[in-house]
Chains A and B, each alone.
Chain A
Amino acid sequence: MKIPVTLNDTKIVLEAEPGDKLLNVLRRQNLLSVKCGCSKGHCGACTVLLDGKPVPSCIVPVALSRDSKITTLEYFSKSEEYQDILSGFKKAGITMCGFCNAGKVFSAWHILSTSMKPDRKMICEEVQHLSLCCTNTDILINGILYAFDFKVQRMGAQKNAKN
C-alpha cells in the first residue's frame, strides 16, 4: 500500500503494509533515532512527532499516518528548540545516551510548547512513564526546567533584536 506523508518536511510516499508499525517503517527509511523499546507505547524510545504531537511510533499502524506530518529527532535536532533543550539537559548533567533521546527530547519539547510556566509536578506527570537509561526522572525534570529558562532567554533576545 502507498502511504503519502510529509516526513521531516519532505513529501514522500511510503510503501508498506497498512498494519506495519510506523516505527519499523521509519527505521527502514534509515531514521535510526527511532528506537524499538517496549513495543507497547510505554517507554518513549520510539517517540516521533505526528502532526505536531509526540506519539509512540511502535503502536501506530503506518496507514494511520496517511497525509500526516511526521518529524523524527534527526530533523528536529536542527531546530532552535532542540538547542534550548540540549543546553538545559547539559546544565542538568544529562548525557544523551542515544537510546532514550527521542522520548526525553520530544516530551520536553511538548511541555515547553504547551505550558506557559511548567512546574515540577506537571513535568513529572508528563515524563514519569519514560524509561530513562542515562538519567533519572528528577534530573530530567531539572533539565526541562533549565531548558525552559534557555527558551525564555532566547525568545527574549529575539524580541529585543526585533525592537
Chain B
Amino acid sequence: MQKTEHTFFFAKTIAELFYQLKSVSGLQIVGGCTRIENVPDKAISIRGIPELAVITKHERYLDCGPGVVLSDILALGRTRVPDVFLDAVQSVANPLVRNLATMGGNICAPGIKLSLYASLLALDTHLELRSPLDTMYVPLLNFTGVPQGFILSNIRIPLNDWDISVFRRLGPDHKIRDTSASFAFLADNDKSMITNVKLAFSGPVTFRSLELENRLIGTRLPLTPKDISTLVDIAGKQFDKSAEGIQHNPILRRQFLNLTRYSFEQLT
C-alpha cells in the first residue's frame, strides 16, 4: 500500500485485524465514519470483516456484531427487537446515515455517549471484548472503553417483553450537541405490583438509576401523586450525584425529571 499522510489499513478477518493492531502502533478502528470529520492518521476499517457484521437471534438475546449497520437492525422489525432499542435506532440521524453508521461506532464513540446508549444500558446489554488470547464479557454499565489489545467483537442484547417501554431522544434531531441525550425506561408489572424496572439516561451525564430501581421493585400500583413526587426527587438526587464534576446543560436535568415523572405516570 502506498504510504501517504494518512495510513489506511483493511482487514478481511478478525485474525488479520489483530495482526494489524499488534504490528502498527496507534492504529484506530473505524466503522462507518459517520461521526468523524477527518480520518485518523492511522486507521483500520472493519467494513470488510463479515464476522463482525452478523446479527444472530437467540431465544433470550440478540447478538449483534459491532459492524452491523443500524438500518439492518431496523429491518428486523418490532417483533424481533425490543421496542426501546428500535425506537433508539430510529432516532439516530436519518435513513441514509443509518445505512453507514454501525453499532460499534455508536457504543465506542470517544468522549460522548450517543443515542443508543441509554436503551442498551436499560436492557442490561453485555459487550464481548476479544483479544487474540482472551474473551471477556463486560456489562455496558461497567464499560469505560475497549482495553488495549482487545476489540469489541459482539453486543449481546437481552430480549425480554416489557409492559411499559419509554424512549426519548433529547436535543436537536440529526445533530449531537451539549443538549443531546437519551432517556430509557422499562417496567414490568404483575398483579398490580412492579416486578422489574430499569431507568437509564445517557449523554453528557450517563447513569443507570439502580437505587431507584431497587426501591421501585415490589411497589404496589397505582402510584399516588405523592409517591411519584418522592420518586422523582430521588431520581433528581441520583442525577446530581452522577453529574458531579461534569459540565452539562442545566436543561438536561429538567428534561430528565419530566421524563421520569411521565414514565412513572404510565405505571398508574
Q: Do the two shown chains form a genuine complex with each other? A: yes
* A residues lining the B interface (CB < 8 Å): 1-2, 17-19, 40-42, 44, 47, 50, 53-56, 59-61, 63-64, 66-67, 103, 107, 110, 114, 125-126, 129
> Is B134 an interface residue, CB under 8 A from the partner?
no
B4 touches A17 (CB 8 A): yes
- Residues of B near A103 (CB, < 8 A) are 96
**Chain B 1-36 interface residues, beta-carbon cutoff 8 Å to A:** 1-2, 4-8, 10, 30, 32-34
A19 near B39 with CB under 8 A, answer: yes
In the bound complex, residues from chain B placing their C-beta under 8 Å from that of A125 are 90, 95
A126 B95 Cβ-Cβ under 8 A: yes
Once the chains bind, are B174 and A42 in contact (CB under 8 Å)?
yes
A-B contact pairs, 24 of them (CB 8 A): A1-B1, A1-B6, A1-B8, A2-B2, A41-B97, A42-B94, A42-B174, A44-B96, A47-B96, A53-B99, A54-B99, A55-B99, A59-B100, A60-B33, A61-B39, A63-B6, A63-B39, A64-B32, A64-B33, A66-B45, A66-B48, A129-B94, A129-B96, A129-B174
Of B38, B47, B90, B96, most buried by chain A (CB within 10 Å of CB) is B96
Q: Is the CB of B95 within 8 A of A110?
A: yes
User: How far, in whole Å, are A56 and B33 apart by their CA atoms in the complex?
Assistant: 12
Complex alpha-carbon distance, A56 and B93, angstroms: 12
A-B contact count (CB 8 A): 79
Against A, the Cβ 8 Å flags (1 = close, 0 = not) of B50-78 are: 00000000000000000001010001000
Q: Which residues of B contact A63 (CB under 8 A)?
A: 6, 8, 39, 43, 45
B69 proximity list for chain A (CB < 8 A): 53
Q: How far is the CA of A67 from the CA of B8 in the complex (A)?
A: 14
Let me know if B45 and A41 touch, CB within 8 A: no
By beta carbon, the residue of chain B nearest A3 is: B8
| A53:B48 contact, CB within 8 angstroms | no
Question: A64 — which chain B residues lie within 8 A by C-beta?
Answer: 30, 32-33, 45, 47
- The docked-state distance in angstroms from the alpha carbon of A61 to that of B71 is 19
B71 and A67 form a contact (CB under 8 A) = no
Interface size, B (range) = 20 to 34
Select A19's contact among B38, B75, B100, beta carbons within 8 Å.
Answer: B38
**SS class, residues of chain A in contact with chain B:** mixed
Per-position contact with A for B138-182: 1 when CB-CB < 8 Å, else 0? 000000000000000000000000000000000000100000000
Decide if B75 touches A1 in the complex (CB within 8 Å). no
- Chain A residues with Cβ below 8 Å from B174 are 40, 42, 129
Return chain B residues, CB-CB under 8 Å to A41: 34, 93-94, 96-97
Q: Once the chains are docked, how many angstroms separate the CA of A54 from the CA of B99?
A: 7
Q: What is the minimal beta-carbon distance from A121 to any residue of chain B, in angstroms?
A: 12
User: Nearest 9 CB-CB pairs, A to B?
Assistant: A18-B8, A129-B94, A19-B39, A63-B8, A53-B99, A18-B6, A61-B39, A56-B96, A41-B97
User: In whole Å, how far is B35's beta carbon from the nearest beta carbon of chain A?
Assistant: 9
**Of all chain B residues, which has the CB nearest A65?**
B47
Q: How far is the CA of A55 from the CA of B38 in the complex (A)?
A: 18
CB distance from B73 to the nearest CB of A (A): 14
Q: Contact at B6–A17, with CB atoms within 8 Å?
A: yes
Are B33 and A18 interface neighbours, CB within 8 A? Answer: no
- CB contacts (< 8 Å) of A61 on chain B: these are 8, 33, 39
With a cutoff of 8 Å between Cβ atoms, the chain B residues found around residue A17 in the complex are 4-6
Indicate if the CB atoms of A18 and B97 lie closer than 8 Å.
no
Q: Is the CB–CB distance between A18 and B47 below 8 Å?
A: no
The residues of A that contact B47 with a CB separation of less than 8 Å are 64
